[in-house]
Chains A and B, each alone.
Chain A
Amino acid sequence: MAERVLMTALSPTMEEGTIVNWNKSEGDAVAAGDLLCEVETDKATMDYESTQEGTLLKIVRGEGSSSRVGDTIAILGEEGEQIDSLVEESTASAQKPSPQAGPTESEREAKGTTPAAAPAAGPDAPAADDGARVKASPLARRIASERGIDLRRISGSGPSGRVVRADVESFSGEGAEDRAAAGSAVSGRGEDVTIPVSGKRAVIARRLAESKFSAPHYYLKSSVRMDAAVRARKELNAEIPQKAGFNAFLIKFAAEALKRHPRVNASWQGDHILQFGSIDIGLAVDLGNGLVTPIVRDCGNRGIVDIDHALRELVEKAGDGKLQPQEYTGATFTISNLGSFGIEEFTAIINPPGSAILAVGEIAKTPVVNDRDEIEVAQIMKMTLSCDHRVIDGAEGGRFLHELKRIVENPVRVLF
């Protein structure tokens, strides 16, 4: 019997996806596990593997079209099966106006103006969106509700993306709160250009606004002499086949400082503070069309070379849009480095669930007064730490940043 293939949530935050490419054509045989299509989600381009099998009878949503989770994107069944009614239903729902968009003038006219005709909107009326219901096992539902986790944010590992207990238990989302983005329609007028909000952009907007509006931010600035760190990097790179990047050093230094001040490696959870057992540092990476923060896990227990390898791999995947959700969610601390753009210093917005983010500027030759009250040329980098005051008080943030400064200025301190 023919069945619908639905758009499923391919990332924890996905509400909508754009089909970039169909890997199967109408008439092709599809086995469970076959790559059906590639879908651009809010963060990455994900492979959509079929959980059903049969013959691809109809592609309902072509390449480039965007579908909400739960929408029918194709119809699968046995060759020669009668699917007209399914296709009709599916395309009707595809054309269904989004709740925000009212009917156009012409539609109103077409429906007539008599009051009696108005309620008879029938098929055009937005129906209860049953297709968007999250598939989850009863046990997973219960655990999620006990922990206040929104199931829609979890990507399920069960059949057809069913959320099961293991998915809920391994979910390290950013707190319990999650609200759907209230997409505001900006109307184009004159020479203004309306740029549609991509899934990725919507998530960035929602998450950062949520962070900035809910976490009371304050900022600590510190100038760091980089001569020793630059030297240390040079020395280390002379010893190893592949040179380690500067960001790997930054991550390592930050991890060492976090080890000494674990209260900074924590998260506000509403009624309690969660101090993380692992130091998972995210690095903000620009993709041209948005930003993503791949995470190097367990930095406290890894060496620079190891961190550098992990980072390179993640950045490469991010560039290809192939980063998996678990590789960019749940950073306990974040670093954003705009030094390559000649930025002297800046402040960053905290990336939940972490409570602090380090904003790093360029390394610039700067006249400084040395111990002997002489002016000399030093390599200076300015760091700004944004802290969530609910978790980190000023003194604690200060101690952490001071420790970080001392480590960067004298890397041998990591041995202490």
Chain B
Amino acid sequence: MAEISIRDALNQALDEEMARDERVFVLGEEVGEYNGAYKVTRGLLDKYGAPRVLDTPIAELGFTGLAVGAATVGLRPVVEWMTFNFSLLALDQVVNNAAKMRHMSGGQLSVPIVFRGPNGPAEYLSSQHSQALQTLYVHVPGLKVASYATPYDAKGILKSAIRDDNPVVLLESELAYAWTGEVPDEEYTIPLGKADVKREGGEVTLITYSKPVRMVLEAAAELEKLGVDAEVIDLRSLRPLDEDAIYASVRKTNRAVVVDEAWPVASFGSHVAWLISRNCFDMLDAQVELVSSEDVPMPYNHRLELAAQPSVEKIVAAAKRVLYME
């Protein structure tokens, strides 16, 4: 097994799928000549040529709509949004066309398309460029939404997403592109809709996905120092959601903390917390806690920027609350 970065794992997935299926093509701002704003598409233009690696103008609604149309007539586009903040411009194409085409055509049309790019805060980008917008996408029936926090998951999930006949939105993270981990040499895929227990434990369930996975694992290590045996579930897929994995863990631990980088109001994290409250009601020994970003536009000041996001301390404190440790 090779130790590679998430960036390279995604590159491998794109490369392998483009080689495997000539209908697969990538498009977006700077994906070709510049090798991608975050170098995820490095080398693909040289290898596959201009028609299959398409540099687009700075016009999200336009190129996203173009890709949805291409998918509708049989190609398998992978759209790179430079960040999810810019995807807001393309939202109509995603929500009204990609997610609805199968329904509106009575099943005659399908839209096998992947939308991917960095979502959520990085650093020093202030409020317009630091948003975790996954809730907007998970909200929409007809879309699949997934995430990854390790190179292994990134590669396996991107390959499955490209092969899926539905529109799939993939949440990446600018700060996580450089994270490394082992990836098998042989080919593999990871099915959408399967959570992964990143750490087994028996006393409290910490549920998260995407970039916060690493932080939650650090929090679990802190809790271990306090004598608490925490289980960490990486949902990986937000829609479809692996509810069975969540409930099995909560039934074991009787306590749950959901950690979500998005804002707290009407968020995916609050939805998961509600599901637990509803479906594990008689198995809960404490309220379900949600650690989210604060309900504010992201400050530019770095201290405030960090304070506005989930942190190891906030996660440990929430776990202690549900464990009645304070």
Using a CB–CB distance below 8 Å, which chain A residues touch chain B?
137-142, 157-159, 164-166
Contact = CB atoms under 8 A, between A and B. Distances in A.
Given A139-B254, A139-B285, A166-B324, 13 more contacts: A137-B284, A137-B286, A138-B282, A138-B283, A138-B285, A139-B284, A142-B283, A158-B286, A158-B324, A164-B286, A164-B324, A165-B254, A165-B285
Interface string B268-294: 000000000000011111100000000
Nearest to A145: B282
A394 B301 CA distance: 82
**A-B pairs with the 5 shortest C-beta distances?**
A139-B285, A165-B285, A137-B285, A142-B282, A138-B281
Contacts of B254: 139, 165
A146 to B, nearest CB: 10
Interface of B: 254, 281-286, 324
Contacts of A137: 284-286
Contact of A164 (B281, B282, B283, B285): B285
B282 A139 contact: yes
Contacts of B281: 138
A317 B285 CA distance: 33
A141 B281 CA distance: 11
A159 B323 CA distance: 11
A86 B324 CA distance: 30
A159 to B, nearest CB: 7
B326 to A, nearest CB: 9
Contacts of A166: 324
Interface of A is mostly: helix
A138 B287 CA distance: 9
22 contacts: A137-B284, A137-B285, A137-B286, A138-B281, A138-B283, A138-B284, A138-B285, A139-B254, A139-B283, A139-B284, A140-B285, A141-B282, A142-B282, A142-B283, A157-B324, A158-B286, A158-B324, A159-B324, A164-B286, A164-B324, A165-B285, A166-B324
Contacts of A140: 285
A165 B285 CA distance: 6
Contacts of A138: 281-285
Among B281, B282, B283, residue most surrounded by chain A Cβ atoms (within 10 Å): B282
Contacts of B284: 137-139
A157 B285 CA distance: 12
Contacts of B283: 138-139, 142
Contacts of A159: 324
A151 B150 CA distance: 46
Contacts of A165: 254, 285
Nearest to B284: A138
A164 to B, nearest CB: 5
Nearest to B321: A159
A159 B287 CA distance: 11
Contacts of B285: 137-140, 164-165
Contacts of A139: 254, 282-285
Nearest to B254: A139
A165 B282 CA distance: 11
B325 to A, nearest CB: 11
Nearest to B324: A158
User: Which residue among A139, A141, A159, A164 has the maximum number of chain B CB atoms within 10 Å of its CB?
Assistant: A139
A138 B281 CA distance: 6
A157 to B, nearest CB: 7
A31 to B, nearest CB: 13
A166 B281 CA distance: 17
Nearest to B283: A139
A312 to B, nearest CB: 33
A166 B286 CA distance: 12
Nearest to B281: A138
A140 B281 CA distance: 11
A141 B282 CA distance: 8
Contacts of B324: 157-159, 164, 166
A142 B284 CA distance: 10
Interface centre among B284, B285, B286 (most CB of A within 10 A): B285
A171 to B, nearest CB: 15
